[in-house]
Structure formats: structure tokens, C-alpha cells
Chain A
Amino acid sequence: MTLADSITLPQLDTDLVIGGRTFTSRLMVGTGKYASNAQMVAAIEASGAEVVTVAVRRVDLDRSKDEGVLHHLSPDKFFLLANTAGCFNVTDALRYARLGRAAGFNEWVKLEVIGDQQTLYPDTAGLIEATKVLAAEGFKVMAYTNDDLIAALRLEDAGAVCVMPLASPIGSGLGLLNPMAIRTIKHRLTVPVIVDAGVGTASDATLVMEQGVDGILMNTALAAASDPVRMATAMRLGVDAGRLAYLAGRMPRREVAVPSSPTTGMLG
């Protein structure tokens, strides 16, 4: 039994419900950039994640690259979430979302409309437009966005079932750059807030969850760790630690010391 197994989280936490579906883990993970498929599967299992993201790409007809990810991940065991990564305009994002729904097993999409190659920051105007179209087609849209409150509010209005602000740029590992912005988004939105991108190590995950958000999605932090399986375990514990600390409510910060031991009864 691991430390994580010994903690009865269900009794200490509330369910994560997105778009009417209850999820078992607040940690969601990607499937990209692992050294091997075996390592990917081992890391995902260690993370305890239920939601696993995948990308939609052309089949390599020459078979010079590896096979599709479904040869390694069972849709019965994981909730496969297709993304629209790599799409730089609304038309492409809609096309990839529809292909993903046809390829997959559910009507959910992690919507990305990227606005800039260097930063991979989202095109929020394009995101809002694409969210409206997809929501009207019955998609459950999880929208990857920046840490901007107004964009997050507009995405909620457009019909997103959850909003996914970044902690820092995709693949950067810089951690949570603007805790206040994330807290503000969480306070103001009704739909769940899942922080997506930028987490580098377990303390980053804890800090993100301590802001009160509903979950985290990460990929590179696991895949690019020297030992992805150990890091996946650390992230699982880090997410749970941050979530419990948030629910527990931290003590107030003071800039003066307050003794922990009695000040009376000292020897005379």
C-alpha cells in the first residue's frame, strides 16, 4: 500500500463533476513525448489519472513512426480526451474536434486554438468562437485558455463545460506564474477550472491546487522528468496535498512571531 492509498480522500474531498460527469481524479495527464509507450503507460497508471489526452493526426502509411495510441491505452480503462493541439485557427480546430469525436468514444474535446508559435499562447477570440460552434453541436468543450478573467468568463458564456487557464506556457515547466489571476478566475466562474500547462514539479502542482482550482492537466512535467513514473507518483501526491490544504484552509500569514509553547510556567 502506498501513502496515497492509505489516505481516504473520498471522505475528505468532494467529487469532481464536469459537464454532468463525475471524475475519479483531479489530475489529468497527456500522452505525448514519452521515451516509449511502455513508459507512458506506467507513468499514467502511477499518476492515478482517469482523463488522458490524445491528439488527432494523420496515420503514417509508411509505418516509419509508432502506431496509434489506442494500441496502448484502453478506452475502457481511461477517459480519452481528444485535443485540437496544433490548430492555429477556428476552422482547423473545428475540423480536428469533429475528427476526434469520430475517432473517439465521447463528445468531449480539449479545445486549443493557438495564437502564437513561440509562446503557444491561446487565441482567445478564436477559442470563444469555436466554443460556441462546438457547444451547439453537442460537444462538451474544455477550453485551454490564458489566465485572463474576461476570456474565461466569455468561454463560460459560450458554453464551455470547464475552463482551463495556463499556469505558464505549454512545456515550459515554469510553474504557477500568476496565482492571483488563477484565484480570480476560480472565484468568478461557475464551471470547474482546471489549470492546464506549465507545471514543472510536484510543488508546482500543490501550489496550483492550493489556489482552490478543481484540477490540473499536465504532460511534459511527467514525460520530460528523468523518471516519469516517480514524478507521476509525486504529482499524484502533490495534487492531493494541495487540494486537501486548500480545503483545510491555511492559517493566516503574520509578519511577527507567535510562540507555539506556553509563555507561562517558565523557571524563575
Chain B
Amino acid sequence: MTPLSTAAATIALTVNGEPRSLPAGTTIAGLLAIHDLDARLVVVERNGTIERDRTAFEATALDDRDVIELVHFVGGG
């Protein structure tokens, strides 16, 4: 792969408040895999909408400028 095609094939998005650059075509499942996260234990909010259907994570590609929140349960009262 040439540097030119690599540059053209990335998307810029925000994940948990931090700017990120990912290969174009990265799916929700792919993003979770990068962080070694179990899809059953994480909720994905994409541009303010909860991605409820976890079976669609493999097929759902992220878009340039997406704002993603990955949340889970932590200790609390």
C-alpha cells in the first residue's frame, strides 16, 4: 500500500471525546476489537443515537466525523 492511498483511506472521528484517525471502512465491531472490548458489556452511542442492535456491529462502518461514545457500567451508588 502506498503512503498516498493510506492517507486517502482514513477517517477522522471522535471517540470518547478524543480525536481519532481510523482506516476507512472500520466497523463498530472493528473499533471495539481495537480496544479489546466485549460488545455485550459496552454500549455504543453514535452521533447521539444508541446503536441498540449489537448483531449489526460487524456490518456497520463508521463514517468520517462520527462522534462515538463507548460507555459501560462502573461502580456507583
Binding site for B on A (CB under 8 A): 30-34, 40, 53-59, 61, 68-71, 80, 82-83, 85, 98-100, 102-104, 170-171, 197, 217-220
- For the complex, give the distance between the alpha carbons of A218 and B43 in Å: 26
- Inter-subunit contact B74/A99 (CB<8 Å): no
B-side contacts of A61, CB under 8 Å: 15-16, 18, 35, 70
Cβ of B42 under 8 Å from chain A: yes
Cβ of B41 under 8 Å from chain A: yes
- Inter-subunit contact A58/B17 (CB<8 Å): yes
A-B pairs under 8 A by CB, number: 92
Smallest beta-carbon distance A168→chain B, Å: 14
Smallest beta-carbon distance A32→chain B, Å: 4
Binding site for A on B (CB under 8 A): 15-18, 35, 37, 41-43, 45, 50, 52, 69-77
- For the complex, give the distance between the alpha carbons of A218 and B77 in Å: 7
- Inter-subunit contact A30/B73 (CB<8 Å): no
B-side contacts of A99, CB under 8 Å: 43, 45, 50, 71
- Inter-subunit contact A55/B50 (CB<8 Å): no
Choice from B16, B52, B72, B77 contacting A68 with Cβ under 8 Å: B72
- Inter-subunit contact A70/B76 (CB<8 Å): no
Smallest beta-carbon distance B35→chain A, Å: 5
In the complex, besides A54-B75, A104-B73, A219-B77, 16 extra interface pairs with C-beta distance below 8 angstroms are A31-B75, A33-B75, A56-B71, A56-B73, A57-B72, A57-B74, A58-B17, A61-B70, A69-B74, A69-B75, A98-B50, A99-B43, A102-B52, A103-B73, A170-B77, A197-B77
